Amino acid sequence: MRVLPRSPEAPPSPGLTALEDAIRRDLERLEYPKRPWVQPRLTRAGQPVLDVLVIGGGQSGLTAAFGLMRERVTNLLVVDDGEPDLAGPWKTFARMHTLRTPKHLTGPDHNLPNLCFQSWYEAQHGEHSWASVERIPKELWADYLNWYRRTLEIPVRCRTRVGALTWSPEEECFIAPLHHTREGDAGVLYARKVVLATGMDGSGRWEVPSVVAGLPRELYAHTRDDIDFETMRGRTVGVLGAGASAFDNAAVALEHGAAEVHLFYRRKTLPTVNPYRWAEFVGFLKHHADLPDADKWRFIHRIIEMGQLPPADTFRRARSFPQFHLHAESPWLAAEDVGGKARVTTPHGQFTFDKLIVGSGTVTDLSLRPELARLYEDIALWQDRFMPPKGQAHADLLRHPYLGEHFELQEKHPGRAPYLASIFNFTFGCLLSLGFGGASISGMKYGVPRLVRGVTRQLYLDDRDAFFDSLERYDEKEFEP
C-alpha cells in the first residue's frame, strides 16, 4: 500500500515523513495473504459493482474501510456528504475543546503502533511531547483522521449523499442513488454490501422536541447546527439538555458575550458518575454482543438510566461565568413566539429568551434515515424481538435495530427480505445489540474487526460455488515428478 505524497501547501515534517515510511514497511511486512480474492461483479449492462459501499467518511467509516482493505477487499468506496477534510463533527459542530475519551484510547490504528494518534503526534512534536497532552484537542483529532485517510489511500467521495437504497434481485446488489450537495443528482452506484457509518444520528436524527419545533426557525438552533454565536452577544439564551453538548454550546454562547444563559434539564440533580468510563474494559467492549438479549437490555438500560454527564472540564467551562444559570427539574412544557422572542414554560415558571439552543440529543427511528426509506419496514427492531422486564420499558431503545453478531440488519419477517443482512449498521444505533461498536472511539478497537469479519464472511460464503470451481480448476504444479 503506497504512501501518498503530501500536498505542496503542507510540506511534511521530517518526523512525519519517517513515520509514513515506517507505516509503509509495516504494511508490506503484514500483507499476507497478498493476492486479491473477491469475485468481481458487473451489472447486466456492464456497470461495475462495488464489493462494499461505506456511507460516512468520519472516524468509523475510514477505520472500517481500512480494515476491509487490509483483508484485500479493495473494490470499495467511502461516500461522505461533508467537505473534504471536514468529515465528522470535529471542525464543524463539535464545540468542546478536547475529545472526551482518555488520550491513550486506540481504535483507528488496527493495532499498528505506527498508525496510532500518539505516534502521529510525537512524529511532529518530539518523542517526549505526549506526556504534556492531557486530552486530545478535537482539531488535532480531525487532522489525524485526514492524514490517516490520505496516507492509507482510502477512496472517499466527498460532498455526496446517498439516497434511498433499493435491492435489485436481478443484479443481486443494492442500487444507491447519489446526490452531489452542490451540483444535484450524481448518478447511481451498485454495491453488494453496504456499511452505514453515519455517526451518532445514523439510526435516526438529531431531536428537536415538538414544543420547540413549532417556533419560527430563527428563534432556535440545535447543537448540531451551524450557529452564529456572535448574534448572541448581549442576548439572553435558553439551553435545553444536561449532556456535554448542551454545556459546550452554553459555554460558547457565554464566551461570545451572551448576557445570560439558562440551562434546563429534567433530572433532580446532574449525573456525576460516568458509566461510559466503567464500560472501558475488554469484557464489555469485546463481548457485550455475546450476551443473551435479556442481559444486553439490562446493561444498556442501566447505562442510559444513569445518564451521560458533562465532563468536569466542560462543566467548569460554563460555570466559570456568573451569568450562567442551572435549572433542575425543569423540562420545557411549552414554547411560544412572543414578539420575536421565545417564551418557555417550565414547572417552575416562564422564561423569555432571545434564542434557544436545543441539546436533547438524538432519536432512534430508522424510518427517518433517507438511505433506508424503502427498506425500513422490513428491518427487525428490538421491539419485534424482545419484551422488556416490568419497569424497564424504554421507547427509544425498543426502536433500535435488532442486529446480528457482525452489525448486520435482520429481516422482520423470515424469508421476506434476506438481503437486509448485507447492510451493516455501524452507527450509534448498534448500542443495544453490540455495545459501543459504532460512532464511538472507545468501541472501535473491538467493533471494527467484528464488522470486517462479518463483511468478508458474507463475501466468501456468497460466492462459495465460484470458489469451489476455482479449486477444481487449480492446477499450478509445485514440481514435475
pLDDT of res. 310: 87
Is the four-CA dihedral 88, 94, 98, 100 of positive or negative sign? negative
Q: Which has the closest alpha carbon to 364: 448, 440, 427? A: 427
Question: How does pLDDT run across 58-112, given as a tens digit for each residue?
Answer: 999 999 999 999 999 999 999 999 999 998 999 999 999 999 888 998 999 999 9
Distance separating alpha carbons of residues 254 and 321, to the nearest angstrom: 7
pLDDT of res. 2: 35
Domains of the chain are: 14-197+440-466 (3.50.50.60), 208-272+309-360 (3.50.50.60)
> What pTM does this model have?
0.94
pLDDT above 90 coverage of the chain, percent: 90
Q: Which amino acid is at 20?
A: E
Mean pLDDT value across residues 12-31: 94
Question: How does pLDDT run across 394-442, given as a tens digit for each residue?
Answer: 999 999 999 999 999 999 999 999 999 999 999 999 999 999 988 789 8
Question: How does pLDDT run across 166-184, given as a tens digit for each residue?
Answer: 999 999 999 999 999 888 8
Question: How does pLDDT run across 215-229, given as a tens digit for each residue?
Answer: 999 999 999 999 999
**Residue 331 in this model has a pLDDT that exceeds 80:** yes
Segment 171-178 long-range contacts (CB within 8 Å, at least 24 positions apart): 171/43, 171/44, 171/49, 173/41, 173/43, 173/49, 174/53, 174/419, 174/422, 174/423, 176/53, 178/79
Hey, which of 125-134, 302-311, 338-347 has the most confident mean pLDDT? Answer: 338-347
Query: Confidence class of residue 328 from pLDDT cuts 50, 70 and 90?
Result: very high
**Residue 11 in this model has a pLDDT that exceeds 80:** no
Q: Extract the C-alpha cell encoding 302.
A: 442501566
Distance separating alpha carbons of residues 400 and 431, to the nearest angstrom: 8
Question: How does pLDDT run across 451-474, given as a tens digit for each residue?
Answer: 999 999 999 999 999 999 999 999
Pairing state of beta strands 349-353 and 260-264? unpaired
Q: Extract the C-alpha cell encoding 101.
A: 475519551
Residues whose CB falls within 8 Å of the CB of residue 454, separated by 6 or more in sequence, listed in order? 404, 405, 406, 407, 408, 424
H helix runs in 177-235, sequence order: 210-213
Q: Which amino acid is at 392?
A: Q
Mean pLDDT value across residues 148-154: 97
pLDDT of res. 80: 97
Are the beta carbons of 49 and 42 closer than 8 angstroms? Answer: yes
Segment 429-432 long-range contacts (CB within 8 Å, at least 24 positions apart): 429/202, 429/203, 429/204, 429/364, 429/366, 429/400, 429/401, 430/203, 430/400, 430/401, 430/403, 431/300, 431/400, 432/296, 432/297, 432/300, 432/382, 432/397, 432/400
**Residue 8 in this model has a pLDDT that exceeds 60:** no
pLDDT of res. 186: 85
Query: Confidence class of residue 10 from pLDDT cuts 50, 70 and 90?
Result: low
**Residue 5 in this model has a pLDDT that exceeds 60:** no
**Residue 127 in this model has a pLDDT that exceeds 90:** no
Q: Extract the C-alpha cell encoding 184.
A: 444535484
Q: Measuring CA to CA, how many Å separate 411 from each of 307, 369, 384, 463?
A: 31, 17, 10, 22
